């Protein structure tokens, strides 16, 4: 059944948060009015303790975050993230479990906002294999206010399914449900400053249709040879029924009382709008119109084109909306447009798997997958009808590839593992006593598989040919040696990127302008103390997009953004 798309009226919000994972949840917590207050200023770090004793107010949003975060070091490149981590998890990297030095109270101003996400609150945690264990300790997966439940594996790490359930319950228990809009796909984000792009972002389909209908400019014709702003007048007269003020068109020096207008459509016979009598409603150029006749003649046109003036009418008088976000409900197909002053990008970094060059711009064959969950589903389905399978090809040398190797071997299916380096380096910062499974895979990769059943490693090899019909692949080594193999499935697990397809392609927002945005190698270029994207006023980001890849650092980015919003909105 084909879903008919219907576009609703524009909804204004002060802030729109794109992404409903832990980053978006943390942001919503602060925007709802639950803000951090210092309860203790005696920190184990003497230098930080000295700075905390000098502050006058216990509300962290009112502080000089740049001053407080001086000299802090850790696993984040963002100073406010390090500051919040030091206050929420003092000396956590040294193995200590001190009590937090702050608490979140419902003392702040509620900022009108909406959090947009494709699935339930928790983001990509709902799409991860539920049996995968977190890298972080379970206690570090918690957001402010509700501790993470005790873990079942050595009381240290948590299963992904427990993490997903925790975030979904967190939104309910912290009374944030009203702010979350699920099953929502963001199609476009455009700044109203870029006026030529507003139309395509707000009503792309409508403007395409209009372009086909109206090939030449609409030219008003009147007895005095005046050329008033007819298009703006027509739209603004329609809008004036709701008492919305026009801010765009300049007032004409001339006044005109009575005329007949001709609209040139597709250079064919003009459509005649009859003369009309004077009415109280007056246009931006001083012209008076019969609103009923205007609305009858331009009904379809006006309904399909939200004017810039209409968008601004949803914002406060002192500051117009800067951003237009167009979304689609993935269940119904309905299109919803939001206008807002501020946008927060919190969409994570795992939406788009990296692809080998030979698979780019192509649909994946049935035997090829890019995520662990899909691989396991295909294996389980195949093993129901076959006792044995050809080897599974795993490409990659990271943690995701290691998870795939373990999942395949647990099903007694052979694994062919290829990677470009001599070995993996993912165990350098993972203690063996806490991550024994990854150290086991690391040993297998170093050994090559000679002493491990159902495993064969091909270090310093790459995939040169892939035949989906015969399910054969050809590998090539750095020295040019070739190996041809039969496989049952292939899992290409070479990392992922954030899905920022809703941003204009001309925007180069990364630290390195010539590269795609990646959480580890090229995060968004932001102001480190406000998390505002450099060169895009009113656009903020936090979480993996800014290099914060661990949940324990996400609250810092939210605090940086909320502190700046409080100042700009005069809420402090």
Banded pLDDT at 192 (limits 50, 70, 90): confident
Q: What is the pTM of this model?
A: 0.77
pLDDT of residue 152: 59
Question: What is the per-residue burial (b if ≥16 Cβ within 10 Å, else e) of 153-183?
Answer: eeeebbbbebbbbbbbebbeebebeebbbbe
* Contact in structure between 489 and 378 (CB atoms under 8 Å): yes
pLDDT of residue 56: 74
| Ranges 206-220, 312-326, 342-356: which has the least confidence | 206-220
Among 131, 180, 140, CA closest to 18:
180
What whole-number distance in Å separates Cα of residue 339 and Cα of residue 329? 17
Does 269 or 71 have the greater pLDDT score? 71
Residue 115: helix, strand or coil by DSSP? strand
pLDDT of residue 520: 84
Banded pLDDT at 153 (limits 50, 70, 90): low
What whole-number distance in Å separates Cα of residue 97 and Cα of residue 92? 6
Parts of the chain belonging to CATH 3.50.50.60: 355-494
What whole-number distance in Å separates Cα of residue 287 and Cα of residue 193? 28
103 burial level (CB within 10 Å; 0-12, 13-18, 19+): middle
* Contact in structure between 458 and 362 (CB atoms under 8 Å): no
Banded pLDDT at 201 (limits 50, 70, 90): very low
| Residue 457: Cβ within 10 Å count | 22
pLDDT for residue 297 is more than 90: no
pLDDT of residue 248: 38
Segments of 183-322 assigned E as strands: 184-191, 261-263, 271-273
Across all residues in the chain, what is the average pLDDT? 79
| C-alpha distance across the termini of the chain, in Å | 52
Residue 190: helix, strand or coil by DSSP? strand
Does 348 or 378 have the greater pLDDT score? 378
Q: What is the mean pLDDT of residues 460-464?
A: 93
Residue 139: helix, strand or coil by DSSP? helix
Banded pLDDT at 67 (limits 50, 70, 90): very high
What whole-number distance in Å separates Cα of residue 373 and Cα of residue 31? 34
Among 216, 208, 211, CA closest to 266:
216
pLDDT for residue 229 is more than 60: no
* Contact in structure between 463 and 395 (CB atoms under 8 Å): yes
pLDDT of residue 26: 97
Helix 291-304 crosses helix 230-239 at what angle (to 10 degrees)?
Answer: 100
CA distances from 364 to 101, 321, 347 (A): 50, 41, 24
What whole-number distance in Å separates Cα of residue 479 and Cα of residue 530? 49
Share of the chain above pLDDT 90, in %: 50
| pLDDT tens digits, one per residue of 403-432 | 999 999 999 999 999 998 887 777 777 888
What whole-number distance in Å separates Cα of residue 237 and Cα of residue 493? 57
User: Which residue blocks in 58-193 are alpha helix, DSSP H?
Assistant: 65-68, 79-88, 160-173
pLDDT for residue 230 is more than 70: no
Eight-class DSSP state of 163: H
What whole-number distance in Å separates Cα of residue 244 and Cα of residue 238? 10
Among 28, 29, 3, CA closest to 15:
28
Among 557, 563, 551, CA closest to 528:
557
Banded pLDDT at 214 (limits 50, 70, 90): very low
Q: What is the mean pLDDT of residues 265-288?
A: 38
pLDDT for residue 287 is more than 50: no
Does 213 or 16 have the greater pLDDT score? 16
* Contact in structure between 379 and 51 (CB atoms under 8 Å): no
| Ranges 219-223, 319-323, 431-435: which has the least confidence | 219-223
pLDDT for residue 261 is more than 50: no
- The CATH number of 11-183+498-568 is 3.50.50
| pLDDT tens digits, one per residue of 514-567 | 888 888 889 999 999 999 999 999 999 999 999 998 999 999 999 999 999 999
pLDDT of residue 57: 80
Phi, psi of 447 (to 5 degrees): -75, -25
DSSP string, 15-50: EEEE--SHHHHHHHHHHTTEEEEES----SSHHHHH
What whole-number distance in Å separates Cα of residue 545 and Cα of residue 517? 8
pLDDT for residue 150 is more than 80: no
Among 400, 391, 352, 334, CA closest to 373:
400
Among 92, 174, 86, CA closest to 139:
92
pLDDT of residue 231: 44
What whole-number distance in Å separates Cα of residue 101 and Cα of residue 465? 56
Banded pLDDT at 395 (limits 50, 70, 90): very high
| pLDDT tens digits, one per residue of 30-63 | 999 999 999 887 888 888 988 998 887 889 999 9
Banded pLDDT at 5 (limits 50, 70, 90): low
What whole-number distance in Å separates Cα of residue 170 and Cα of residue 180? 12
Question: What is the per-residue burial (b if ≥16 Cβ within 10 Å, else e) of 256-293?
Answer: beebebebbeeeeeeeebeebeeeebbbbbebbbbbee
Q: What is the mean pLDDT of residues 483-494?
A: 94
pLDDT for residue 358 is more than 70: yes
Report the CATH architecture of 355-494.
Answer: 3-Layer(bba) Sandwich (3.50)
């Amino acid at each position: 059944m084909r879903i008919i798309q219907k576009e609703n009226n524009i909804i204004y919000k002060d802030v729109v948060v794109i992404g409903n994972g832990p980053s978006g949840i943390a942001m919503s917590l602060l925007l709802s009015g639950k803000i951090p207050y210092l309860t203790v200023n005696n920190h184990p770090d003497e230098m930080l303790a000295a700075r905390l004793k000098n502050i006058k107010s216990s509300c962290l949003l009112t502080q000089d975050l740049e001053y407080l975060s001086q000299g802090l070091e850790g696993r984040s490149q963002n100073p406010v993230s390090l500051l919040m981590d030091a206050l929420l998890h003092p000396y956590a990297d040294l193995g200590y479990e001190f009590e937090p030095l702050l608490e979140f109270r419902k003392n702040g101003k509620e900022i009108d906002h909406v959090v947009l996400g494709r699935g339930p609150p928790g983001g990509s945690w709902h799409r991860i294999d539920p049996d995968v264990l977190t890298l972080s300790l379970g206690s570090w997966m918690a957001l402010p206010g509700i501790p993470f439940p005790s873990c079942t594996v050595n009381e240290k790490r948590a299963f992904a399914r427990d993490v997903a359930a925790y975030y979904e319950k967190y939104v309910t228990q912290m009374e944030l449900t009203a702010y979350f809009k699920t099953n929502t796909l963001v199609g476009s984000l455009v700044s109203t400053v870029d006026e030529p792009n507003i139309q395509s972002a707000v009503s792309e389909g409508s403007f395409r249709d209009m372009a086909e209908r109206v090939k030449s400019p609409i030219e008003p014709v009147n007895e005095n040879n005046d050329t008033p702003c007819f298009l703006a007048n027509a739209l603004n007269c329609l809008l004036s029924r709701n008492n919305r003020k026009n801010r765009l068109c300049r007032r004409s020096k001339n006044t005109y009382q009575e005329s007949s207008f001709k609209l040139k459509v597709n250079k064919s016979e003009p459509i005649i709008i009859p003369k009309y009598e004077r009415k109280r409603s007056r246009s931006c150029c001083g012209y008076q119109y019969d609103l009923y006749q205007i609305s009858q003649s331009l009904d379809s046109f006006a309904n399909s084109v939200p004017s810039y003036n209409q968008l601004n009418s949803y914002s406060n008088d002192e500051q117009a909306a800067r951003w237009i976000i167009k979304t689609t409900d993935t269940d119904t197909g309905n299109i919803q447009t939001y206008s807002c002053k501020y946008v927060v990008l919190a969409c994570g970094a795992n939406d788009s798997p990296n692809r080998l060059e030979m698979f780019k711009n192509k649909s994946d064959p049935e035997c090829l997958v890019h995520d662990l969950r899909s691989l396991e589903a295909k294996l389980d389905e195949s093993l129901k009808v076959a006792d044995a399978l050809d080897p599974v090809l795993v490409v990659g040398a990271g943690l995701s590839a290691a998870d795939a190797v373990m999942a395949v071997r647990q099903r007694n299916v052979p694994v062919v593992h290829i990677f470009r380096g001599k070995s993996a380096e993912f165990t350098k910062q993972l203690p063996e006593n806490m991550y024994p499974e990854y150290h086991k895979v690391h040993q297998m990769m170093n050994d090559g598989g000679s002493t491990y059943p159902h495993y064969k490693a091909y270090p310093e090899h790459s995939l040169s040919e892939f035949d989906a019909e015969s399910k054969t692949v050809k590998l090539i080594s750095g020295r040019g040696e070739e190996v041809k193999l039969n496989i049952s499935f292939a899992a290409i697990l070479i990392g992922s990127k954030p899905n920022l397809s809703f941003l204009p392609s001309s925007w180069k927002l990364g630290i390195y302008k010539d590269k795609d945005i990646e959480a580890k190698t090229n995060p968004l270029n932001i102001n480190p103390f406000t998390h505002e994207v450099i060169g895009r006023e009113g656009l903020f980001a936090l979480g993996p997009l800014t290099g914060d890849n661990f949940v324990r650092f996400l609250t810092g980015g939210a605090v940086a953004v909320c502190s700046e919003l409080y100042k700009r909105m005069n809420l402090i």
